[in-house]
Amino acid sequence: MNLTVLDKIKAYKLVEIENDKKVKSLSDIEALAKAAPKVRPFARALASKDSSFHSLIAEIKKASPSKGLIRKDFDPSQIAKAYQAGGAVCMSVLTDTPSFQGAKHYLDEAKKVTSLPALRKDFMYDTYQVAEARSLNADCILIIMAAVSDLQAQELEEAAFSWNMDALLEVHDEKELERAINLKSKLIGINNRNLKTFKTDINITRNLAKLVPENRFLISESGLNSSKDLQDLHSHGASAFLIGESLMRQDDVEAATRHLISKPISEYL
């Protein structure tokens, strides 16, 4: 049987989690989580954004399994400051090391120099990771429906809520969307990237958006490169956008961020 990219990530991630537990017990992690700075409301920041402009979750990502190294000149603090100055509403910070060259300490580094809420972008399988996310100063976690069972998703979501964090439920197809809608979180992320093949297609958002209930907040993720892409998917129902690679490749991240979202939505109509 051929293993997908997601299968390979799950295999090393489960080993990583068990190793982490040997270094720091759950009680140790929970103590650190309780001592972490106060949560910055992630979902509220997105919902309260001036609706005249597109809402952006800007991602701090050094590399990916499909593209390799994305940004050689990589300083999470400087990138975070550039994103905030450019108008991003929230940040997404990769903390997975083997596939994305991320690091857990990047989260706190990004938070310390900005006032933006931050998503811990990682592959979550265990509630230990949720407490760890809070200890790392995260405000929101990612729950990838393709990676977990319904029970796991529910446990991860409940753990996030118990720490006053938000949970972004990520889906790629209709079945995953149906499962996500049965959970409590209002944040639904449609990933245009298939995590089994890592190929992207923004038609995924176009096709699934109409199935998302009106009481959910829809975020389109991956494969977005221009303000035209944002307006296209906004017209299909997306309320915010998670973008990393196209911004991380720019020499001037602040200017690129500002250019992407500076045009009022009304000018496209």
- The Cα 93–Cα 101 span in angstroms is 11
Query: Looking at residue 250, what DSSP letter applies?
Result: -
In the prediction, which pLDDT does 156 show?
99
In the prediction, which pLDDT does 196 show?
78
Relative to beta strand 68-69, strand 63-64 is antiparallel
Ranges of residues in the chain with a pLDDT under 70 are 1, 50, 264-269
In the prediction, which pLDDT does 219 show?
96
In the prediction, which pLDDT does 265 show?
63
Residue type, 119: L
Long-range contacts of 33-38 (CB under 8 A, 24+ apart): 33/131, 33/132, 33/134, 33/135, 33/163, 35/135, 36/134, 36/135, 36/136, 36/137, 37/111, 37/137
In the prediction, which pLDDT does 166 show?
99
In the prediction, which pLDDT does 197 show?
78
- The Cα 219–Cα 130 span in angstroms is 21
In the prediction, which pLDDT does 175 show?
97
In the prediction, which pLDDT does 226 show?
84
What's the longest Cα–Cα distance across the chain?
A: 56
- The Cα 127–Cα 59 span in angstroms is 23
In the prediction, which pLDDT does 266 show?
64
* 269 burial type by CB count under 10 A (0-12 exposed, 13-18 middle, 19+ buried): exposed
Domains for the chain: give ranges and CATH numbers: 5-257 (3.20.20.70)
Count other Cβ atoms within 10 Å, centred on residue 61.
25
